Amino acid sequence: MKILFINGSPNKEGNTKKLADALLSGKEYETINLTDLKIYSYGQNYEDDELGVVIDKMKKADTIVIGSPLYWHNICGSVRNVLDRFYGLVSESELQGRDMYFLFQGAAPEKWMLEAGEYTMKQFAGLYGMNYKGMATDRTEAIKFGKNI
């Protein structure tokens, strides 16, 4: 099984990565740090855009874990940008059958913030044919979900 962790945090070893480590404890996985890539905004077309790297690795993975810190009450910009950019580049159901987990953490998030982030990720997973397996917001939840991977 090939597992891909897409880390949206600018802090590569921060709390989002720690949640991934808890979720994927004892498993081999590849990490993509979005802040290492040039992924431009929707509507911009530049030759050095690297969104294709993310899409290619997602297509090769069996399990996809997307991690985001909670910024400005929602998903961080780097993850949001990837989601926005899928439109027109990836056909619906192209990632059919892959399992997707969402890691979402922040300092004292309110319930509505977590619900908004999870709603977005559920819709994203469903649109592209992925099996949404849930959201972990702390180490205990991550370890629980990790038992099913």
Residues 103-113: pLDDT tens digits? 999 888 889 99
Proportion of the chain above pLDDT 70, given as a percent: 100
| CB neighbours of residue 68 within 10 Å | 27
What's the whole-number mean pLDDT along residues 139-147?
A: 96
Q: Is the pLDDT of residue 49 over 90?
A: yes
**Alpha carbon separation from 16 to 19, 68, 70, 88 (Å, rounded):** 5, 6, 10, 29
Most confident of the ranges 14-28, 69-83, 88-102 = 14-28
